Structure 1
Amino acid sequence: MTAPTIGFIGAGNMATSLIGGMLQQSFTPQQIIASDRSSEQLEKLASQFGIRTATDNALLARDCDVLVLAVKPQVLQAVCRALPSQRRPGQLVISIAAGIACSSLADWLGTDTALVRCMPNTPALRGQGVSGLFAAAGVSAEQKQLAEQIMNAVGISLWLEQEAQIDAVTAVSGSGPAYFFYLMEAMTDAGEQLGLPRDIAERLTLFTALGAADMAVHSDVDTAELRRRVCSPNGTTEQAIDSFTRDDLPGMVARAMQAAAARSAELSKELA
């Protein structure tokens, strides 16, 4: 596919981040069209990025090789059913709406639609996202490559073999940033209780998290080994880790993520 045209239905934060990231890669403003209910948001995008905008989703859908569905899950059915049944041949549709299964999208858009379902996360807003991608039957290798190129504009993407794995991705990376924010919040509170000024406790926590993540990403050993290397025998870190173990931190994390995955599966059924 040469210089494909990519249309975004919905121009909120995630779509804006994707567009900005794509323009920093190999995409040009002429290739991108966005539609949204907010004329103010469209004017902002046109001014910031120089892309084309539209107020008619149906016309946008007819003009695009790739259609990115970036609206709230609760309104996606109405948006899809309002699109023309005869769209551009071979059009790829990428959905970043949480909880909407490919079977529902195919029912609303037509069973011959090439569908990729995506679960990004909020660090994509900073270009540090990770997305789980699933391609339904009928998506070509070229279309998969293009979908990956689009999502990699705001981080990295990983392909899933089964759509049901999207629920696990939601539990690990989709909801995952909140787990780390919660831990950072708790560490900041504890640092303050230990006598540090809150602003110092917070900065120590945030930059420790940033440094630890960077070490883990660039290390040639796994996180368990990195943890062991910090734990001197009978040292301060070992005492903290032993306290976590006694309180069953691994079990707490597993139960929390199982709850998130179960809720993701429930939402798919509710929104079908």
Structure 2
Amino acid sequence: MKLTNERPLVLIGAGKMGGAMLAGWMKQGVAADCVVVVDPNPLTEMVDLFRAHSINWHKTVPEGVVAGVLMLAIKPQMMEAVLPALTSLADDRSVILSVAAGTTIARFKDNFGADQPVVRVIPNTPSQVGRGVTAGYATAELTQDQRDLVSSLLESIGVFLWVDTEEQIDFATAVSGSGPAYVFHLVEAMSEAGKRLGLAPELAEALARGTVSGAGELLYQSPEDAAVLRKNVTSPGGTTAAALSVLMGDDALADLMSEAVAKAAHRATELAG
């Protein structure tokens, strides 16, 4: 199955996540005439993107458009108000592709039909630069061609992994969906620690930002496990070992991260009602 201008990818919502994925697809060469965006109030940078690629953009649901893939990138709390207006965009061959945390497959089937092919995915914002991580769960109605199309779309903006149960989508939300924020906060914390030692704010920020992004690139390119890379940096009795005695002492960071990820997973479950 391929996207065409007759059965396009229809993106509902070009906010932070939908916009990041759209920007990633444009960078990867997805044909703009196979994309339709519906968003009543997109950010200025998104309007610039639409114009730069001549993407078909509507403020309201267009008439006469039937999606090959209907992608829902709206906030969960908006879903109930928006879903009923979208039924004209899908037929029984359309794939409903949701990136909304917490909205269950059962809710989409209630709206579009019991036999509707539905995929729930949890991407993250590095999709904008082709380095996203996305987990997905598909219903049994999805054909192999549809499954291949979804995989192709999401692999074009990073790593894509299928999970075995819908429940695991909530777990992926907590780890990879929210995960970039954890890393960005690490940069903030490292920068603040450097400033407290006496480094100029700009220097502390540059050191922290460059270190985390560089370490991430090394992890991306290296075949070694993260534990091996950590040990490679850590000389016995050295400065890194001294720092790790705090972070790893009594499993301090591991316990804190477990608590944080569990909290995020619980919230994802709450959003599902």
Q: Same fold (TM over 0.5)?
A: yes
Q: How much has 1:44 moved relative to structure 2?
A: 4.0
Give per-residue Cα distances to partners, 1:147-174, cap 9 Å, x unaligned. Answer: 1222233322111111101111111111
CA distance in 2, matches of 1:82, 1:190: 50
CA contact (8 A) 2:109 2:115 kept: yes
Q: 1:244 aligns with which of 240, 243, 247?
A: 247
- 1:116-140 per-residue CA deviation (whole Å, 9 max, x = no partner) reads 1011112223332211111112111
Moved more, 183-192 or 120-129: 120-129
Q: After TM superposition, give the deviation of residue 69 of structure 1 in Å.
A: 0.9
Deviation at 1:22, TM superposition (A): 2.3
Secondary structure (helix, strand or coil) at the match of 1:83 reads helix
Distance 1:267 1:148 in 2: 26
- Contact 1:7–1:33 (8 Å) recurs in 2: yes
Aligned partner letter, 1:167: D
> Which residue is equivalent to 1:259?
263
The separation in 1 between residues aligned to 2:42 and 2:207, in whole angstroms, is 42
CA deviation after TM superposition for structure 1 residue 104, in Å? 1.2
**Partner Cα distance (1:8, 1:220) in 2:** 36
Match of 1:83 among 81, 86, 94: 86
**Equivalences for 1:1-272 in 2 at 5 Å?**
1-4=1-4, 5-38=8-41, 44-57=48-61, 59=63, 62-84=65-87, 87-246=90-249, 248-269=252-273
The answer to whether the Cα contact below 8 Å between 2:24 and 2:127 also exists between their aligned partners in 1 is no
Shift of 1:31: 0.9
User: 1:181 is matched by which residue type in structure 2?
Assistant: F
What root-mean-square deviation, in Å, do the aligned CA atoms of Structure 1 and Structure 2 show? 2.1
Describe the SS at the equivalent of 2:63: helix
Distance in structure 2 (CA, Å) of the matches to 1:2 and 1:150: 10
Aligned length: 268
Q: CA deviation at 1:99?
A: 1.1
Distance 1:94 1:35 in 2: 15
Q: 1:59 to 1:188 in 2, by over 3 A?
A: same
CA distance in 2, matches of 1:245, 1:86: 52
Taking structure 1 as the reference length, what is the TM-score of the superposition? 0.90
Shift of 1:43: 5.4
Contact 1:85 1:110 survives alignment (8 Å)? no
User: What is the TM-score of this pair, normalised by structure 2?
Assistant: 0.90
CA offsets, 1:224-265, max 9 Å, x none? Answer: 111111111111111111121225221111111111111111
Where structure 1 has 5 or more consecutive residues not aligned to the other structure, the ranges are none
| C-alpha contact (below 8 Å) 1:58/1:82 kept by paired residues | no
Distance 1:104 1:234 in 2: 56
| CA distance in structure 2 between the aligned counterparts of 1:267 and 1:77, rounded to whole angstroms | 12
Secondary structure at 1:59 match in 2:
coil
2:122/2:173 contact within 8 Å kept: yes
* Distance in 1, Cα, partners of 2:15 & 2:84: 21
